A and B are shown apart, each in its own frame.
Chain A
Amino acid sequence: MTAINVATESPALQNEQMRPGQTSPRLALPTVLFLVATIAVPIAITFVYSFLSTADIGTGVKWDFTLSAYRHLFVQDKLDGTTAFDTRYVKVIWNSFVYSAITTVVTLILSLPIAMWIATRAESARNFLVAAVTLPFWISILIRTYGLRQLIDDNGPVGGVFHRLGLDYHIIYTPTATVIGLIYVFLPFMILPIYASAERFDFSLAEAGYDLGAKRMTVFRKIVLPSIRPGIISGIALVFIPALGSFLQSDMLGGGKANMIANVIANQFGQSRNWPFGCALSVLLIGLTVLFVQIIRGISARSGDQVNLV
């Protein structure tokens, strides 16, 4: 795969280098150094701290090398000196997985129609709709989640409708609320990449399909879907990976029961004051993120689709 990349990149690179008015690569040095200090170093420190012990007093760490933070993921030391297998954190990791997976599936199901629908509108409507879908992407997640909380609260409008129908309604502070929050927040992350693929889709291909006698769902499944696959793969990556590390939704909607990885991490730097454990969970989260990025890369390399992750 690398070899292919090298071959296809070289002529473009040659041209880029020929363009007059280009500046020295040294210009990028301040940015690179700044990012090393503010991004690479903190990640490195997280890694180092995950192998240290908790401080005796207050917050922070003690420079004693140990694997106890990682052991803490699975084992609980009881007060009477015995140890027991601890399923709490395994459950949290599993929950994060399941919530993210459900979020990914639901956003995909919702995004396919809207992405296709936007792609088939007239140009002016299309620009407007793309802007409408992009806007929430940039708006404060905090405020969006707060609004959703009001909306799905037992006393909110959705609850009101259920009450009037004489139905039981209680969603807020349950895992369901967390997942609804994740779906709500990450929807644009799925719609936009699929739309980007759908917009490039040549509808005369679909017309050729109809002309050759295919029905609409067949055309969708056999012609449209394969063409927008790169967008779908990008969307899955852009929803699943950040959902795995999300914090606000389970905090504000799930009732702060610390049922996702990020909430447990936050606790270690708040009330629990166990920095090494928090760092170990962070390392785990980084590991999972890198793993999924690699999986997505693998899939896109194998299918030959151009998938953009950033």
Chain B
Amino acid sequence: MTTATTKRRRLVNLRNFPTFTATSWAVLIFLYLPLVYVIGYSFNSGRMVMIWEGFSLHWYTVAIQDINIQRALTNSLKIAVVATTLSTVLAVLASLGLVRMARNGKRIAWALIGIPLIIPEIVLAIGTLAFFMAVKIPLGIFGLILAHTAFCIPFALLPIRARLSQLDAAPFEAAYDLGANDREILRRITLPLLSPAIVSGALLAFAISIDDFITSFFIAGPGATTLPVYIFGMIRSNVTPEVNAISTLLLLFSGIVLISSYVLNRVRR
């Protein structure tokens, strides 16, 4: 019975193209294998990141108790929280204002907002370094907050802009018709309708800020080392599974932030 069915020519799925499935799986594995490796070796009990000796949470205790990591994490969180707040506020203001801005003004504003997405980060980083030195802004947390806010704005703006373009004019007209003026419409209709996108954008900005390396590397200065900058230093000097442990914690954290953003973006449907 089985031979009969196998002998029959299999009907191929015409939506599949040969080797596409295999390539896709290979690509997915390629994308995640390095992350799996980092996470896996964070549980290594030995000192080496290449030789597996046994399962242990030892390096997590080391990482959590590492005073330098604690300092770097505190810096990262301070910068990320303030930069996220500032960039979200500025993104909301920009999204509301740009709708009615004249065409040329709009074009210039969008170009300005889009620059961090196109120009290599190192260019902006050294430009910002030179700028801070020229106007005597000390390297440190304050400068980092300014720089992070700048490149977080486009990310905070992405979901807000998408949401704004999907909004139907009818509820706004209805509110107007029911006696709400522009200010009341903003408070009662526009902002509540945008709120999932605003939160989603804030989470993206947060993820970008907390993960940033290049800008922070150039303008952190000695006192304001962020977690990625500290991890970079650890990788350069002595690699132990502690790097993997703290990286895993950072991955976990970004993962939670990103998944929340993703879920929020989908809930609105």
Query: Is A in direct contact with B (CB under 8 Å) within the complex?
Result: yes
Which of the residues B100, B175, B254 comes within 8 Å of A138, measured between beta carbons? B254
A117 to B133, alpha carbons, bound, how many Å?
A: 50
Q: Is B173 in contact with chain A by the CB < 8 A criterion?
A: yes
Q: Is B38 in contact with chain A by the CB < 8 A criterion?
A: yes
- Known A22-B100, A31-B93, A38-B147; contact A286-B119, beta-carbon cutoff 8 A: yes
- Known A147-B38, A310-B118; contact A21-B123, beta-carbon cutoff 8 A: no
Please state if B120 and A245 are interface contacts (CB–CB under 8 Å): yes
Chain B proximity of A241: nearest CB distance (Å):
7
Q: Which of B109, B115, B126 has the most CB of A within 10 A?
A: B126
A93 to B50, alpha carbons, bound, how many Å?
A: 34
Chain B proximity of A211: nearest CB distance (Å):
10
Chain B proximity of A208: nearest CB distance (Å):
11
Please state if B112 and A36 are interface contacts (CB–CB under 8 Å): yes
Which residues does chain B contribute within 8 Å of A184, judged by CB atoms? 30-31, 34
Which residues does chain A contribute within 8 Å of B62, judged by CB atoms? none
Q: Is B264 in contact with chain A by the CB < 8 A criterion?
A: no
Q: Is B182 in contact with chain A by the CB < 8 A criterion?
A: yes
Q: Is A4 in contact with chain B by the CB < 8 A criterion?
A: no
1/0 per residue, CB under 8 A from B, across A100-144: the answer is 000000000011011011101000000001011111101111111
CB nearest to B165 among chain A residues = A16
- Known A32-B94, A143-B251; contact A286-B50, beta-carbon cutoff 8 A: no
Please state if B211 and A139 are interface contacts (CB–CB under 8 Å): yes
Which of the residues B108, B146, B169 comes within 8 Å of A19, measured between beta carbons? B169
Chain B proximity of A290: nearest CB distance (Å):
9
Please state if A203 and B15 are interface contacts (CB–CB under 8 Å): yes
Q: Is A25 in contact with chain B by the CB < 8 A criterion?
A: yes
Please state if B153 and A35 are interface contacts (CB–CB under 8 Å): yes
Q: Is B105 in contact with chain A by the CB < 8 A criterion?
A: yes
Interface residues of B in 102-148 (CB under 8 A from A): 102-103, 105, 108-109, 112-124, 126-131, 133-134, 146-147
Which of the residues A9, A42, A141, A207 comes within 8 Å of B14, measured between beta carbons? A207
A116 to B19, alpha carbons, bound, how many Å?
A: 11
1/0 per residue, CB under 8 A from B, across A216-227: the answer is 110010000000
Which residues does chain B contribute within 8 Å of A22, judged by CB atoms? 96, 99-100, 182
Chain A interface: which size bin?
35 or more
CB nearest to B150 among chain A residues = A38
Please state if A147 and B186 are interface contacts (CB–CB under 8 Å): no
Q: Is A164 in contact with chain B by the CB < 8 A criterion?
A: no
A59 to B103, alpha carbons, bound, how many Å?
A: 42
Q: Is B49 in contact with chain A by the CB < 8 A criterion?
A: yes
1/0 per residue, CB under 8 A from A, across B70-83: the answer is 00000000000000
Please state if B123 and A286 are interface contacts (CB–CB under 8 Å): yes
- Known A142-B211, A143-B38, A286-B123; contact A252-B131, beta-carbon cutoff 8 A: no
Q: Is B101 in contact with chain A by the CB < 8 A criterion?
A: yes
Which residues does chain A contribute within 8 Å of B130, judged by CB atoms? 42, 45-46, 49, 61, 275, 279
Which of the residues B102, B112, B180 comes within 8 Å of A35, measured between beta carbons? B112
Chain B interface: which size bin?
35 or more
Which of the residues B34, B41, B99 comes within 8 Å of A144, measured between beta carbons? B34
Which residues does chain A contribute within 8 Å of B211, judged by CB atoms? 138-142
A242 to B262, alpha carbons, bound, how many Å?
A: 25
Q: Is A41 in contact with chain B by the CB < 8 A criterion?
A: yes
CB nearest to A135 among chain B residues = B258
Interface residues of A in 132-161 (CB under 8 A from B): 132-136, 138-144, 146-151, 153, 155-157
Please state if B247 and A146 are interface contacts (CB–CB under 8 Å): yes
Nearest 10 interchain pairs by C-beta: A245-B120, A28-B97, A21-B185, A147-B34, A42-B127, A27-B97, A20-B176, A38-B150, A31-B94, A140-B211
Q: Which residues of A contact B (CB under 8 A)?
A: 9, 13, 15-32, 34-36, 38-43, 45-46, 49, 59-61, 110-111, 113-114, 116-118, 120, 129, 131-136, 138-144, 146-151, 153, 155-157, 184, 187-188, 191, 203, 206-207, 210, 216-217, 220, 241-242, 244-248, 252, 262, 265-266, 269, 275, 278-279, 282, 285-286, 289, 293, 309-310
Given contacts A138-B254, A141-B211, 20 further A-B contacts (CB under 8 A): A16-B100, A28-B96, A31-B97, A31-B113, A32-B108, A32-B112, A42-B124, A113-B19, A117-B24, A134-B262, A142-B211, A146-B243, A153-B50, A155-B51, A184-B34, A206-B14, A206-B15, A265-B126, A285-B120, A286-B123
